[in-house]
Structure 1
Amino acid sequence: MPSLLENCRNFFDTDNLYKILNVEKTATEKELKKGYHRQSLAVHPDRVGKDEKDEATQKFQTLGRVYNLLQDKTRREIYDETGDIDEENDVTQDRDWYDYWRLLFHHITMTDIKNYKEKYQGSEEELKDLKEAYIDAEGDMDVIIDSVLCATIDDEKRFTDILADLIKKKEIPKFKAFTNEKKSKKNARKQKADEEAKEAEAHAKKLGINDEDSLTALIRKRQDSRQAASNDFFAQLEAKYAEPAKKKSKVDGKKKKK
């Protein structure tokens, strides 16, 4: 069986455990957990097809073992000092990493998404994200809408007005893709959005599910069509504000939240 470091090199092209979690060597326990959460969303086996499932599962398990080691103070100190890993005393190799992940992180609900959307839209955070998306996409509205959290075709007019004002104030550069966008491109974007909405609605109707599940289906449809795990709508949203699952303890034979 390959060692943990061998798996790290195989799946992440590095044996630097901190780099795998995308954190600094001085990372706090909270920063380690946040880094693990972000990375686990990007490599979670549920995000790939059957053909890639086995490899994705191994990568997910490797990531879990990396986090588990670094959050153990003693094992982390040994790794920091020597660069080696004591695998002989690693009792986590056979752990169910799916269950471990679910214990650590709160499951996102549609209510969470709606609440976040209400706080996010129109905020300084959204404005910052919009500016960055505009510059990164060089004014391509297709990419901008796909990049900004919670954005849909309904936000296009609002985004256009905001960006036009920022260009006028010279806070962002002027890109031809934005200022000279052809009407045919706008129409194609609207048509695509309408088709996705109809597909989600039809899917919900077929399964007899409610509007919230229909929204979930639409989100899943969007992430499937983009095929961009690290930038996908649902993953970004979870990584931004998901809360850790609350620990439970048994009191008088009954479970009670701390």
Structure 2
Amino acid sequence: MDDSDPMHSFFPEAAKSSSPETVLYSALSLKLTATSEEIRKAYRKLALQYHPDKHTSKSEDEKAELSKQFQRIGFAYAVLGDEGKKKRYDSTGRTDDKFQGAEEMGWDAYFESLYTRVDRKILDDDKKKYQGSKEEEADLIKAYNSSSGSFPSILSYIPHSHHTDEARFVTTINALIASGDLQSTSKWEKTSTDEKAAKLRKKRGEKDAKDAEKAAKELGVWDEFYGDGKKGKRKSTSGGNDVGAFAGEDGEGSLQALILKRQKERASGLDAMEEKYRRIEEEARAKKKARKGNKRA
């Protein structure tokens, strides 16, 4: 493998391909004759499908795979969406030109900023279109059947899901059960009424929201995201802070990067707390069972 070409980090198969000049087009499901507008549209469609913000409630393994796909799509567009890079790639099948910004901020942040520059409102628009739609209902049915009614699993399957959507999901699924479209299960009855688990999810969601607003204030973009919508002067976070050089012109990218970092840090702590709580419950049940056994003896 030629490690000098960054394409091989995202598309290792390209190193052995007899036609590497087609790999990036295939990643975006495009023909080699695709126009710049077709390239842009294909990228936006796929980036929306795999964007991490749309799948925050999925399992870690699923999020890792989706993130990998998002990076592949982002890299393909970073090349094909740039006239100079595209021309060189089309003629040589190589992509080892400089990617300005990627060296300083890292590939994850680079792809995130690339996506944001295309249209930062696209996820919000998709969320409005999706929630309450037939597509969401079909996804709820599929998630319910595949998980035997496990509410946490259902939440991890549905795009854009948030703790504030839980009551709506329960109402929808119970209506589907009442109509005969779904069969009630013991797992559904137990997990959909688990108040302790619901409180933990709510706590996590509220903390995320507070951190997002705090980060917006730190970066000088509070008005843009929470106020009148006007863009103000971004505050630099370089000098050893969370997002470094990523806080340039693309303030919303900085905000996302900082929030993502904090969410990851907090999620690990809450996961540990949840695991600790689960162990305590298991130990309590085991002790109770042991006491019953001693009484019988």
Structure possessing the higher relative contact order (Cα contacts under 8 Å, 6 or more residues apart): 1
Which structure is larger by alpha-carbon Rg, 1 or 2? 2
